[in-house]
Structure 1
């Protein structure tokens, strides 16, 4: 199951890298001389939030499941383009993606419970 979690985490990282996030400027003499003169990127572009990243990953899992369902239906209807091998691979991909999503959810719930049970 750790391979599945690694897979979903790599998908989340790739979604983050696909979003346009401004890079921080390098530290230099300008920062030391005048800290307010440094431009931290375009203020119109915001970095990707955890919610957006998680939502896009869940949408990816959903599209994988829809694709597997559509291929299975096409195979049952006798479509020559939907051979058994493609149907089985798509079904396994959707199953692995779903299991990884459930594992990530379980880890998030466990982390939340751990934080809530911490003594103040």
Structure 2
């Protein structure tokens, strides 16, 4: 459970509006779009790393263990699922706002 908590916090932190150093974003980068773009880039990087490790395991590279590749694949999957849930919530919120009576 410790690993999944770390993964979720590292995946969700871009959505909260903090950069890697933990300081607040500048005024020019405020908003949902840059945060979501950064989260998608992070998930894409995790998926690329997992895919590369998987290839190395398949090629029987002695420097890469099967466990390392499996953990990387799980990190990528959890990150993707978290990002997908955030996107779905954003779409639902937009839909709810658009359907409000004025």
Q: Which residue of 1 aligns with 2:67?
A: 85
Stretches of 4+ aligned residues off by more than 3 angstroms: 6-9, 16-20
* Structure 2 residue 99 is the aligned partner of structure 1 residue 117: yes
- Which of 6, 10, 14 is the aligned partner of 1:11? 14
Stretches of structure 2 lacking an aligned partner (at least 5 in a row): none
Contact 1:12–1:54, Cα closer than 8 Å, also in 2: yes
Which structure has greater helix proportion? 2
Superposition pairs of residues 16-95 of structure 1, within 5 angstroms: 17-18=22-23, 20-21=25-26, 46-95=28-77
The verdict on how the C-alpha distance between 1:102 and 1:20 changes in structure 2, with shifts beyond 3 A counting, is closer
Stretches of structure 1 lacking an aligned partner (at least 5 in a row): 22-44
Number of paired residues? 93
Give TM-score scaled by structure 2 length.
0.78
Q: Which residue of 1 aligns with 2:84?
A: 102
The verdict on how the C-alpha distance between 1:47 and 1:98 changes in structure 2, with shifts beyond 3 A counting, is closer
The verdict on how the C-alpha distance between 1:20 and 1:99 changes in structure 2, with shifts beyond 3 A counting, is closer
Contact 2:14–2:35, Cα closer than 8 Å, also in 1: no
Report deviation, 1:89: 0.3
Max radius of gyration: which structure? 1
Give TM-score scaled by structure 1 length.
0.68
Q: CA RMSD in A?
A: 2.2
Contact 1:19–1:48, Cα closer than 8 Å, also in 2: no
